[in-house]
Amino acid sequence: MAGKGKKSRKHGEGRKSLAKHRLDEQKCPGDPQRLGKDCKYERELRRLQIELVKLQEWIRHEGLRVVALFEGRDAAGKGGAIKRIAESLNPRVCRIVALATPTEREKTQWYFQRYVAHLPAAGEMVLFDRSWYNRAGVENVMGFCGEREYLEFMQSCPEFERMLIRSGVILIKYWFSVSDEEQERRFQDRMKNPTKRWKLSPMDLESRKHWAEYSRAKDEMFAVTDTKQAPWHVVNAEDKKSARLNVIRHLLSAIAYRDLTPEPLKLPRLVKSKYVRPPIQEQNFIPEVYA
């Protein structure tokens, strides 16, 4: 009997595995040649996102303050990576900061001031989709700041970051590296796709004319701000999906954490009441175009 039971369990596991495989195929429609790779990506992404939830609980429990900067050229995949990190997390714990161009008032402030306002409190993680490094990149290359302002930033930035770290902030800096050929391909894709066209701005197109200047600006920025206390971590972003997985994995490895995920809650039984609700037909429903 024990032998039969063991055999039966193996058979059941095989059926469960097959069912799961079929489910994966349903979740990953598309080119059959890419089916396996896409499914593997989705499974690994889900596994890493579960770990991110554990990290989130640890950050909240320990009162950590985490800042992750995402920098890189236009269309390098920063926003997509941030989206995959944050989409499974509590927005009260994990916040995304993507600031617009500074207002006239902000232009008169201390340069770091508008970024300081978004730094995390205890138990929070903030993901900056571009950051104070705008001054070393686009502002410098496109002439939006003067040489004196640029040099002041390059001198102040390392000390500003050391100050954050001394205060207990965990600072992690990512640079998404992409080739000019891949950037052009992604720009073309955005131009053709109506749902992505909003991502392409006149400034993005203008930046194509200044590829070498941006390269020089990045190299000079690294030379000054790639410090022992706050090093840059370069992400090979030629393949978006690989870059997302790699950056999530690195983020998880950068902060030691334990699994503090709470036990699943039990749904209480619905308490019946004698209250009689008004006819539902009296409510104003939107048209059911899709059913």
For residue 5, tell me if it sits in a domain. no
For residue 241, tell me if it sits in a domain. yes
Q: Read off the DSSP letter of residue 145.
A: S
Q: Which of 129, 62, 53 is nearest to 95 (CA)?
A: 129
Model confidence at 43: pLDDT above 70: yes
Structure tokens at 86: 């944050």
Q: Which of 164, 151, 175 is nearest to 226 (CA)?
A: 175
| pTM of the predicted model as reported, rounded to 2 decimal places | 0.84
Structure tokens at 243: 């870059």
For residue 9, tell me if it sits in a domain. no
- CATH assignment of the domain containing 236: 3.40.50.300
For residue 190, tell me if it sits in a domain. yes
For residue 224, tell me if it sits in a domain. yes
Q: Sign (positive/negative) of CA torsion 196, 200, 205, 208?
A: negative
pLDDT, tens only, 159-217 = 999 999 999 999 999 999 999 999 999 999 999 999 999 988 888 888 889 999 999 99
What are residue 278's DSSP bridge partners? none
Range of the domain at 89: 27-260
Backbone angles phi, psi at 236, to 5 degrees: -70, 105
For residue 74, tell me if it sits in a domain. yes
Q: What whole-number distance in Å separates Cα of residue 260 and Cα of residue 252?
A: 15
Confidence of residue 18 (pLDDT cuts 50, 70, 90): very low
For residue 279, tell me if it sits in a domain. no
Q: How many domains does the chain have?
A: 1
For residue 203, tell me if it sits in a domain. yes
97, 114 in Cβ contact below 8 A?
no
Structure tokens at 150: 């640029």
